[in-house]
Structure 1
Amino acid sequence: MLIALIGPPGAGKASVASYLGTHLGFHLLALTSATTPIRPLSNLNASTDMTALSSSKEMLDYATDRWNQCFVTLDLDTLADIEAFIKRPFFLCVEVGGPLLTRWNRWKEKHGEIRLEEFVALDDRVSFGPGSSTPTSPATGIKPGSSAMASSKSSSSLLTGGDGILGTTLSHTHTEHTSASSSLGLSALRRYVHLSIMNDHLTLPALHSHLSSLHLPSEERLRPGWDTYFLRLCNLASLRSNCMKRRVGAVLVSSNRILATGYNGTPSGLANCNQGGCPRCNNTLGNSGCGQNLEECLCLHAEENALLEAGRAKLAGGVGGGATMYCNTCPCLRCAVKIIQTGIKKVVYQLEYSMDEKTKGLMREAGVEIRQIHLDP
């Protein structure tokens, strides 16, 4: 596993890296130029191992050859770097964040006094790129040659080292490894973040307790187990829902193989619920709360849809273009929507039922033939 920590200034990336090294045995990987010495900070445990690598490509090869070991780095800070690593199944991108004022106070304790306006300008440059804040901006009052300008010049190096975890000011030759995508700042990297950690903790023990509860080295974070996998597919299926009341998804599985998926909404052939297809869900029958007027609802539940889809091929693909449903009583509204969804093309019944007209209207709309037959006594 290789965990890449990213985040704004003062977020506490160094503290997280220190925890991973001290408590979980992670090995620190750092990028450095040939002329830049590496000097660990005091907040990094002396027993924590560290390997210096000359480029992100070398780091990728190094970690790939040792994929079953645990590594952490704070030096993957460009879009090009993250996109190269994100393809690997052992890579986890973790963002560490925190409230602005909390991060400002941490930064002052670690790097010396800096005005709030100067820190905000620094934060903007890291988050949104160099063009987001200029040293002569009237909003910040930062002037060329000020202490904030000095901070901004070294901000990339300070953040590249995870709030100074390496304790070095990297030379311009080191920062040249960043691509043009680095001008987008931290905001460009967030699409690849697997986990976000909110570090609003005031003490290290509190942060460590929170990190312990996250189980960062868990294999589930790299390759989800079956339960997690199928539940995420349920959430994905729910995005197809057209029900005005709630988005629900379902997946039907046997021996870890998907039989069918389903989401809630009106049956095939009818107008979608979000297009007025279900009067109950659109409150045209009156305001229907949760569990009320369900007998009037035309929406299939996600679970029902999954069950119906599992047998749909047998029903809809028969000789003559679909199956026929025979029943001695006209189907109720709830059964009618299931009949429509399974692809049945004809319904034949004998006895009347209280909801006949609604059922017939629904089936006609969906293109299902329905007729009544009177049997001889």
Structure 2
Amino acid sequence: MSQDRSASPLILGGAPTPRAALPQLPPLALYIHIPWCVRKCPYCDFNSHAASPTLPEEEYVDALLADLDLELHAVHGRELSSIFFGGGTPSLFSAQALGRLLQGVEQRIAFASDIEITLEANPGTFEQEKFTAYRALGINRLSIGIQSFQEQKLKALGRIHNGDEAIRAAGMARQAGFDNFNLDLMHGLPDQSLDDALGDLRQAIAMKPTHLSWYQLTLEPNTVFWNQPPVLPEDDTLWDIQEAGQALLAEHGYAQYEVSAYAQPGRAARHNLNYWSFGDFIGIGAGAHGKLSHPDGRILRTWKTRLPKDYLNPAKPFKAGEKALGNEELPFEFLMNALRLTDGVDAALFAQRTGLDLASLAEGRRQAEQSGLLQVEPSRLAATARGQLFLNDLLQYFLI
């Protein structure tokens, strides 16, 4: 049934367009989800769970490798360009456990010679010795969850670290040999002023990270903040923070390349760039998602069993669901990611990653350009500055 659907013609304001076999498969990445945290933050809607005093490291690594084994048939002969340990808080796991996992992964899938391997970490969950051990494993990029340096704001966010620990974290990362690391920082925090937000940003810049993820706090369903919303800044203040913060980052050499991502030259996150350009990724771990392209043109999204206890239960499958993307879904799926990039993507990438003719976007492009949300540039698919701000409105032109 899914094969028939993916072979059906697409009509988007023009003649039917057949779905072609993909001439070349996209780069392949691996996402590994570690679902435990010391404490669940009130704003967090990720699949994370408060950790017990003893984590089932050995059992979970065994499960991850068994999960990966079931994905191998779809990626035979391909190599990994990046690996990302997300969570939760992956740095809760010992270097010994992560080392056994990485060794098992490399035995199954070849690593690119310049593979990027990122580990998410929080300032309150590690020490110097642990970081040095992670670096020795081949992990070559860190993403440190700071969120704020101000005690009152950290307390409101439910964070377990303080500002001093956050500052020390960057120094420890450098001493351990990490010359490439990201800081996660939020703005639009409860009762935050423009000066508060810029103070956080200046402190982060002073730590000289190679990459900054600077994004606005949003209230998500199924979180404590959704049910008990804090007082957030007014829209005018949020706008002032956004404008002043972007100018400050640019002044210090951090180029914005995605809605909330800023990097020094040559330091954009390769794993995330692959995701935003509709590349392929295997997802293993509790609640992990994946997307894989096949030479015959099929593109499958998968998602794994969400609860750790179920994921670790041998009587239950790792995979919770799978969906073949139909032709009518692909324009939206592709552009939902690609248009987040500040410079967009080469227009030819649409056909390369979807198997659909670029002409199938013609009517949607025409309307989006007339609305001022899409750049008038035949060789690229890129949002205007206004389109970046109103991305959901822009994407509506490509819904069937």
Q: TM over 0.5, yes or no?
A: no
Which entry has the higher C-alpha Rg, 1 or 2? 1
Higher RCO (CA < 8 A, seq sep 6+): 2
TM-score range, shorter chain: under 0.3
Task: Decide which structure has greater strand share.
Answer: 2
